Structure 1
């Protein structure tokens, strides 16, 4: 805003106010007196510009945006810890710690047992399954699966591995996401168990990436919450159970959780709608389908992820035009035609409780 208020501009303007019969040349008494003051004035304009920029949520840097958000009771979401499923060949103590790559994990709860038949043999192995929490916060804890090493000695024959992500971790809320949440707060009125109140409070729970609220779904006072995880995938049973406990634990309707007294809340997750895509691709000379199939799948996976990120807003449609446009942008693709989705040559409407997931991508 004050980019034109430079040291030189202020100095020239100040010297112009001095009478013409006074020596104003460089090195003169007047020049030496005015120059330092002009430099200070230029710095004040720079500081003033920063004050104005940081006084508005639309342009404030994170430090001042956080202060602005506090005025509306909005706090940045902290980074969270991933919870994963571990499988062991024997029971392990709650609290025992394990390592995989650069990360450490602690056993926080028992899940149960699983039986697994050895292929080609008439032998059944019993595995003990547990919830393990990553000790490092952030999405790094979502990435690794495989054989675990015990940090403290338990048994020489102990074997265990991480096999499934139950509750995804999230990084600290991004500045632009916080800014959007602040600005959106003026367009909604969350209060006392209305739809926006349920959505905001459920999305704020660890591991939740989106929520659809269905009021009066099974009679007066009933509410259904359909959630997905923070990776924008179908939520695990563990995450659903944890959200249910936070929102409306047993005995239900008593106001023991986030839900108001008299609301009976059922938490579920979206059902995956697997979409198989078949296209007829004309390739440039020198290219084969096997060369570009992985890139085609990645491009369409990105499109489906974009849809899942806005899933909670409803109205999703898997569009053939979007699929063809993304494939046309790939190296080696000359033309795309005759696209079908699950065998039908038309756009696919996604229902409220469905989550679109890419299935097979074939060229034929």
Structure 2
């Protein structure tokens, strides 16, 4: 916070008490323990406490200082401040994905069947529950794929592939269940910093009359949105495309895309039934993912023994963080070879590397990401 105003400076208990005692005539005993000192000390304490609360009230009155840097804290004062401009905090979003049931051909798996990841008694990790959103019937091979949604919303509902193995609902004829791909697009309740960023975007870059800034503001009002790219004249005059990312900077889920569509242009006929003005036909869609595959040979340090799997994970985490930073950055739409190389050299247990290829290209060539596309981490192959 900026410097305190003068009237709130030098307001400690000791400073207030000294100023009060200075007002007492010098011929009156005002030493500690005297009647005057004992009478004024409690007053000084209460005035100093009031000054502290005045400082806190001033801090909470501005969006920039009311916002917390702690991800698990939500400032009620920031909610009140942003609500004055019609901006509300986005709620948590449940992840979604698909599972494959195996068992007797012809078995029906009803809508609302519960499946879960196994709980871990050793680590104390709880099971993550999911529910099917559509009934399916096992085919002649004894398999069926069903869409699922997490029971409890939040980022913790994003689970890796192959970990959903438990049938919480008993279905006769089903022998196993698994998720061939990770569940995605789960998001926690919006953090203060994210809400503050959207607040600044609205008050500093006014969206009006259906310009690009306004379409971005409308889309960002939907929970789970992590990025928006607006493409005017997408298929000629009167058409607008909205490419959407989730909070992990991956292609937004079908549920998020549909929520944005219903919010902005539910009828898709230019009638202006949503927030979009009458005339333009708005189409919301997930961003197109461009996988970035990495192959590299590394030389490991001898001081800290490590496995290639550990190095592979560190490389994947570093490159994924870089790709998230550049998602929908139209000012520099390149995945840069040098930045990927820098990620490798920033890992302490890697002494050196060679034969780095990006998407099979051995040349030090950047990869351009087109409109509506987002670069995501693909396969990472590490050898010595």
Cα pair 1:253 1:261 within 8 Å, conserved:
yes
More strand by share: 1
Q: Unpaired segments of 5 or more residues in structure 2?
A: 68-74, 119-126
Following the alignment from structure 2 to structure 1, what is the Cα–Cα distance between the partners of residues 351 and 174? 57
Say whether residues 1:95 and 2:112 are aligned partners. yes
Which residue is equivalent to 2:211?
A: 194
Q: Provide, for residues 325-353 of structure 1, a one-character-per-residue CA deviation record: whole Å limited to 9, x for no partner.
A: 32222234334577554322133332223
For residue 146 of structure 1, the aligned residue among 164, 167, 190 is 164
1:221-254, Cα deviation, whole Å (9 max, x unpaired): 1111122233222345565456545544456333
- Give a deviation string over 1:54-75, Cα, whole Å, max 9, x none: 1111111512111111111111
Deviation at 1:171, TM superposition (A): 0.4
Partner Cα separation in structure 2 for residue 235 and residue 350 of structure 1: 17
CA distance in 2 between counterparts of 1:240 and 1:161 reads 25
Matched, 1:18 2:24: yes
Determine if the alignment matches structure 1 residue 34 to structure 2 residue 46.
no
Q: Structure 1 stretch 57-66 or stretch 214-223: which is displaced more? A: 57-66
1:257-283: per-residue Cα shift (whole Å, max 9, x none)? Answer: 443332222333333333344556555
Determine the C-alpha separation between the residues in 1 that align with 2:257 and 2:304. Answer: 46
* CA pair 32-139 structure 1, distance change in 2 beyond 3 A: same
Deviation string, structure 1 residues 127-177 (Cα, Å, up to 9, x no partner): 3333322221211222264223233x4425464444445652210111121
- The answer as to whether partners of 2:355 and 2:362 remain within 8 angstroms in 1 is no
Tell me whether 1:55 sits opposite 2:61 in the alignment: yes
The 3 A distance-change label for structure 1 pair 276 and 108 is: closer
Match of 1:226 in 2: 243
Shift in alpha-carbon separation, 1:5–1:292, aligned structure 2, 3 A: farther
Could you say what secondary structure the match of 1:185 adopts? helix
Is residue 85 of structure 1 aligned with residue 117 of structure 2? Answer: no
Contact 2:30 2:37 in 1 (8 A): yes
Aligned-CA RMSD value:
3.2
Question: Which of 350, 353, 356 does residue 333 from structure 1 map onto?
Answer: 350
1:308 to 302, 324, 333: 324
- Cα pair 1:167 1:239 within 8 Å, conserved: no
Question: Matches of 2:282 and 2:10 in 1, distance apart?
Answer: 59
CA contact 2:101–2:144 (8 Å) conserved in 1: yes
Aligned length: 353
Give 1:137's match in structure 2, choosing from 153, 156, 173: 153
Partner of 1:356: 375
Partner of 1:121: none
- SS state at 1:59 partner: helix
Q: Counterparts of 1:6 and 1:38 in 2: how far apart (Å)?
A: 8
Q: Which runs of 5+ in 1 are unaligned?
A: 116-123
* Rounded Cα–Cα distance in structure 1 between residues aligned with 2:198 and 2:267: 32
Q: State the TM-score, normalizing by the size of structure 2.
A: 0.79
